Structure 1
Amino acid sequence: MELQSEMQAAKLLKAQSHIWNHIFNFINSMSLKCAVDLSIPETIYNYGQPMPLSKLIASLQIHPSKSSFIHRLMRILIHSGFFATKNVANNELEVGYVLTDSSMLLLKDNPLSVTPFLLAMLDPIFTKPWHQLSPWFRNDDATPFQTEHGIIFFEFFSREPKFNNLYNDAMASDARLVCNLLLDDKYKGVFEGLESLVDVGGGTGTLAKAIAKSFPQLECIVFDQPHVVAGFEFEGTENLKYVGGDMFEAIPPSNAILLKFK
């Protein structure tokens, strides 16, 4: 009887831990956004060696009353794998913070930086609709985004240039990283034999531009909402052009359709 009671207690604790883990999982995302907002990755990178906590605090633009909380923030981010610690040179008792492969991608000057994507996806414009998920199941709105903001996603961004630019920057940063992998010699063969390609939802054309440059014989089309491609028509080349439209109505004819992020 006592063993059964212990097993039941263990199950309850495991179940509670599972629930708590999901309740507070948002802390990881928001802590990461905070680190980016405070330029912590750049600060550590520019230091050039393992950076002691005292040096990090002194380098950040924060209120003095918040200094003690940086250690807590860094503990969360170390646990999540975004930073690590190493011994400080000539001092085996002191440790300093260093970047990991993940935080290297958060450096704003890194050509493959995913920071614009992070800042867009964690902006309240995108996070608030998740609070409308249960109401959305009870109404006839197309998406929780519409439930929160009153209009559909694409209409919202056509009216709000600031957030349209935020979203386009996010998609462009993601596309740059994809380009780096997709156009590697190992994968280039997927484009061989094609005469035309349309990048559906191609945004400002980051990915299509790279493909068109690598394959001059391939006619490429960047196809997206009219407000997205507006102003980019003159950035086309001999084998790249921008076309505005609705993919749910018609897509320009081509040998291949590229859907990078849907």
Structure 2
Amino acid sequence: MMKQEELVEEEGKLQGQAEIWKIMFSFAESMVLKCAVELRIADIINSHGHPITLSEIATSIGSPSPDINCLARVMRLLVRKRIFTSSKPNSDDKEAVYGLTNSSKWLLRDSTEPTLAAMVLAEDHPWLMAPWHYFTKCIQEGGTAFAKAHGCHIWDFAAANPEFNSLFNEGLACTSMVVVKAMLSAYREGFAVMESGTVVVDVGGGIGMAVAEIVKTHPHIQGINFDLPHVVDTAPQYPGVSHVGGDMFASVPKADVLFLKWVLHDWSDENCIIILKNCRKAMPEKGGKIIIVEVVLEPEGEGLFAETGLVFDLLMVAHATGGKERTKIEWKKLLEEAGFPHHKIIQIPALPSIIEAYPE
């Protein structure tokens, strides 16, 4: 008979084994999530207005001969992960019905509300999954995983590949809408107090959705979307917003307020300082400020997004050009070196926070 200490040790080993199995196959969760978005399963259920059977889902996915057994196995894991619900009606001869949860609502592709569907399709695409296989080489040799996987940095790859450029920009645009909605809610007064005609430049603003939402909510603001020429060339027109192509490492359009959302985490400290100094040059001598929207890492934190922040830091290894997520101390040091000695951090109901920085 095993002693108590031996039982505890064996139980610990078994728990450790189970954890390794779980982490080893955690990619499967991402893949079934992507499958659900590609098949528009959340949209199908949502369009019915109530939970529906597996057969009803299968007949709506747009395939002449769907494999309902495979669909059932995918849905079983998604129910286990609480992405969807499953319940059996009070009758033995009736099929179980599947419904939406607070999680699956973030997978809708036809919603008027911001969702994460486009980001799921982008991040789980082979183009963006491939760099994760190069972490060992990054540690052994240095360099960036995306360049090791594809032979060039992500921005050059996007410039040469219109399909990837579209996929990547749509993914960034959808997360932009999620974050901007949270920001506009928590930082309403920050924009409202700006004087009429205040120029806000969104540096690295992609196709301009973020600054368009800011101007739409606060029409007294004049918006400029600034990004690489091949990016703004695909940008739609928005009321009150002009698009400017250029290179933020060379110069930034003149503005009263510089807005940078999920830009600085793509770059090394040295490159961030160049960008921030160019932003400083674009400001008036007095009264200007930078609004930065970025993750503030809490490595030991227990917050809702604390662990996701650490994953995002590894995402920078996979996709960025020497970038990283930063702690409060690292943000303070970076801003001071770039000529912004004063800043404050404002929490918003989203993964990143607002960092408001001033040159004086």
Per-residue CA shift, 1:123-159, capped at 9, x if unaligned? Answer: 1110000001111223343x10000000111011000
Match status 1:76 vs 2:77: yes
Question: Alpha-carbon deviation of 1:45?
Answer: 2.2
Question: What aligned pairs does 1:53-92 form with structure 2 within 5 A after superposition?
Answer: 53-61=54-62, 66-88=67-89, 91=91
Question: Alpha-carbon deviation of 1:94?
Answer: 4.8
Match status 1:207 vs 2:210: yes
Q: Is the 8 A contact 2:225 2:244 kept in 1?
A: yes
Match status 1:132 vs 2:131: no
User: What secondary structure does 1:250 align onto?
Assistant: coil
Q: Is the 8 A contact 1:50 1:87 kept in 2?
A: no
Question: Alpha-carbon deviation of 1:98?
Answer: 0.3
User: What secondary structure does 1:197 align onto?
Assistant: strand
Question: What aligned pairs does 1:91-240 form with structure 2 within 5 A after superposition?
Answer: 91=91, 94-111=95-112, 112-141=114-143, 143-184=144-185, 187-194=187-194, 195-230=198-233, 232=235, 235=237, 237=239, 239-240=240-241
- The one-letter amino acid of 2:207's match is T
Q: 2: distance between equivalents of 1:231 and 1:55?
A: 38
Q: 1: distance between equivalents of 2:234 and 2:126?
A: 28
Q: 2: distance between equivalents of 1:251 and 1:60?
A: 46
Return 5+ residue gaps in structure 2 as ranges: 264-360
Q: 1: distance between equivalents of 2:24 and 2:247?
A: 38
TM-score (norm 1): 0.87
Cα RMSD (Å):
2.5
Q: Is the 8 A contact 1:50 1:95 kept in 2?
A: no
Match status 1:23 vs 2:24: yes
Q: Is the 8 A contact 2:109 2:115 kept in 1?
A: yes
Q: 2: distance between equivalents of 1:218 and 1:64?
A: 53
Q: 2: distance between equivalents of 1:70 and 1:152?
A: 37
Q: 2: distance between equivalents of 1:202 and 1:4?
A: 58
TM-score (norm 2): 0.65
Question: Alpha-carbon deviation of 1:99?
Answer: 0.9
Q: 1: distance between equivalents of 2:82 and 2:65?
A: 27
Q: 2: distance between equivalents of 1:206 and 1:65?
A: 37
More helix by share: 1
User: What secondary structure does 1:4 align onto?
Assistant: helix
Q: 2: distance between equivalents of 1:236 and 1:66?
A: 43
Q: 1: distance between equivalents of 2:253 and 2:61?
A: 50
- In the alignment of these two chains, the number of paired residues is 257
Q: Is the 8 A contact 1:85 1:96 kept in 2?
A: yes
Q: 2: distance between equivalents of 1:170 and 1:217?
A: 29
